[in-house]
Amino acid sequence: MAEEAAAQGPRPVVSYLKIPDGGDPYLEGQKCSGCGAIFLGERTTCSSCGSTGSLVPTPLSNQGELYVYSIVHRSFPGVEVPYVSAIVDLEGGGTVKGNLIDIEPKPEKIRMGMPVEVVYKIAPRKDAEGNEYLTYYFKPRA
Ligand SMILES: [Zn+2]
């Protein structure tokens, strides 16, 4: 059973992380064909213009800018702190929450609007059945 799971590869940690067969993982948004607004996750109605049935899946950019962040000092047992929880505006649309890595968790090191990119990594922990999960992080762009 565990071998079977491994052969299938990691599972996405969230529904909007897509892992194409033989392709690179990417984040998927729902784009409103009426007004162009982009959202994360399944929904039926555009919360920007209110139209229904206008949302189509669209791959999101892996490049963006840091919109806002907070340095987390307390978390669940087993989660290493401090870490940087960030919200990033992706190029071309889409606002995504995730952790900012490869940076010191200090306010003087982190700049609003700094360019970041989305990177994909195997999550540090498996689930009870031994399945691996693919997750995403943000890291500063050179
Ligand atoms: Zn809309």
Q: What is the mean pLDDT of residues 45-72?
A: 96
Other CB atoms within a 10 A radius of the CB of residue 32 amount to 23
The pLDDT of residue 6: 47
Distance of CA 56 from the midpoint of ligand 1 (Å)? 11
The CA-based dihedral angle spanning residues 119, 134, 21, 90, taken in that order and rounded to the nearest 10 degrees = -40
- Side chain identity, residue 2: A
CA distances from 14 to 18, 104, 108 (A): 9, 26, 31
CA atoms of 97 and 8, how far apart (whole Å): 27
Secondary structure class of 19 (helix, strand, coil): coil
Q: What is the mean pLDDT of residues 64-88?
A: 94
The pLDDT of residue 142: 79
The pLDDT of residue 120: 97
Distance of CA 45 from the midpoint of ligand 1 (Å)? 8
Residue 120 contacts by C-beta under 8 Å, 6 or more apart in sequence? 17, 24, 25, 134, 135, 136
The pLDDT of residue 1: 47
Distance of CA 50 from the midpoint of ligand 1 (Å)? 6
Strands 133-140 and 11-12 come out as parallel
2 or 81, greater pLDDT: 81
Distance of CA 47 from the midpoint of ligand 1 (Å)? 7
Distance of CA 26 from the midpoint of ligand 1 (Å)? 23
Helices assigned H by DSSP within 35-136: none
Secondary structure class of 4 (helix, strand, coil): helix
Distance of CA 11 from the midpoint of ligand 1 (Å)? 30
Distance of CA 113 from the midpoint of ligand 1 (Å)? 26
The pLDDT of residue 86: 98
Residue 58 confidence (pLDDT) above 70: yes
pLDDT, one tens digit per residue, over 108-128 is 999 999 999 999 999 988 999
pLDDT, one tens digit per residue, over 1-53 is 444 544 578 999 999 999 999 899 999 999 999 999 999 988 899 999 999 99
